[in-house]
Amino acid sequence: EMLLVESGGGVVQPGRSLRLSCAGSGSLFDVHGMHWVRQAPGKGLEWVSGFISGTGRVDYADSVKGRFTVSRDNAENFLHLQMNSLTEDDTAFYYCAKDRDPGGLKYWGQGALVIVSS
Amino acid sequence: DVVMTQSPLSLPVTLGQPASLSCRSSQSLVHTDGNIYLSWFQQRPGQPPRRLIYKISDRDSGVPDRFSGSGSGTDFTLKISRVEAEDVAIYYCMQGTHWPYTFGQGTKLQIK
């Protein structure tokens, strides 16, 4: 069973940046996707970004495209989410999640809370 | 993007009674590999989502067999044969066939 742990959440002012990290108990980077999913307080789930290391495929939700960037750290087995130009609409729990099978989001972290507020 | 529509949004159920949750996609979820990547997740208050069902009807390990998934085309269903108190949660369907992955709005299951 893969365990995922997010870190890097916190309170940040609008317009500023924050970087989230996701660590796994096993290799994060294989043929299956790694994803970021967020959930605003009291709201539903929104897919933010996906990354498949085997193919180099990366994609972002329109709501974050051009502001968020996902990257990998092979040596330390981390997945990062660099979030720039944050707005209050980005306030949410951010979960990293991993496919065990295509399109499946089998494994989830506990989430990192990001609050964008002046 | 594929729009996932769940109904009902709120579902009061008597303990021991069955529950049926619906999910509809705005387009076909058949992947180029022939599979349909439709999953169901349970989210209890204060917890991350937990996957219950994948590829329409495959149950994840450790998931009670009172949970079952079915469907085809663009219509999918999650059924709970006999609702227990621990089933109080919000249930989301999600399609993973097309990027971006997209979720339904969620169905909140409550005890009547």
Q: What is the pLDDT of residue A73?
A: 87
Would you state the pLDDT for residue B55? Answer: 97
**pLDDT band per the 50, 70, 90 thresholds, residue A55:** confident
Measured between CB atoms, does A58 come within 8 Å of chain B? no
CA-based torsion, A25, B43, A57, A91: positive or negative: negative
To probe the interface with A, which of B4, B50, B101 has the most A CB atoms within 10 Å?
B101
Is the pLDDT score of B102 beyond 80? yes
E strands, B10-98, are 10-13, 19-25, 38-43, 50-54, 58-59, 67-72, 75-80, 89-95
Q: For residue B101, give the nearest of A101, A103, A108 by CB distance.
A: A103
What average pLDDT does range A55-70 have in this prediction? 95
- Judge contact between A20 and A6, C-beta under 8 A: yes
**B22 — pLDDT class (breaks 50, 70, 90):** very high
Pairs of residues, one from chain A and one from chain B, whose beta carbons lie less than 8 Å apart: 66
CA of A37: which chain B residue's CA is closest? B101
A45 inside 8 A of chain B by CB: yes
Residue A95 C-alpha, separation from nearest chain B C-alpha, in angstroms: 8
Mean pLDDT of chain B, nearest integer: 97
Q: Could you tell me the pLDDT band of residue A28, with boundaries at 50, 70 and 90?
A: confident
Encoded tokens for B99: 């990027």
Please tell me which residue of chain B has the smallest CA distance to A36: B101
User: Residue B15: pLDDT band by 50, 70, 90 thresholds?
Assistant: very high
Q: Are A93 and A109 in contact (CB under 8 A)?
A: no
Tell me which of A100 and A91 has the higher pLDDT. Answer: A91
End-to-end, the C-alpha distance of chain A in Å comes to 40
Matching residue, tokens 């999640």: A97
Does residue B62 contact residue B50 with C-beta atoms inside 8 Å? no
pLDDT of residue A76 exceeding 80, the answer is no
Cβ B48–A110 below 8 Å, yes or no? yes
Residue A104: list chain B partners with CB under 8 A.
37, 39, 51, 54-55, 96
Type of residue numbered B82: R
Q: CB–CB of A101/A68 below 8 Å?
A: no
Split at pLDDT 50, 70, 90, the class of A54 is confident
- Mean pLDDT over all residues of chain A? 94
- Closest-CA residue of B relative to A98 is B51
CB contact under 8 A, A105 and B99: no
Q: What is the mean pLDDT of residues B74-81?
A: 98
Interface check for A30 against chain B (CB to CB < 8 A): the answer is no
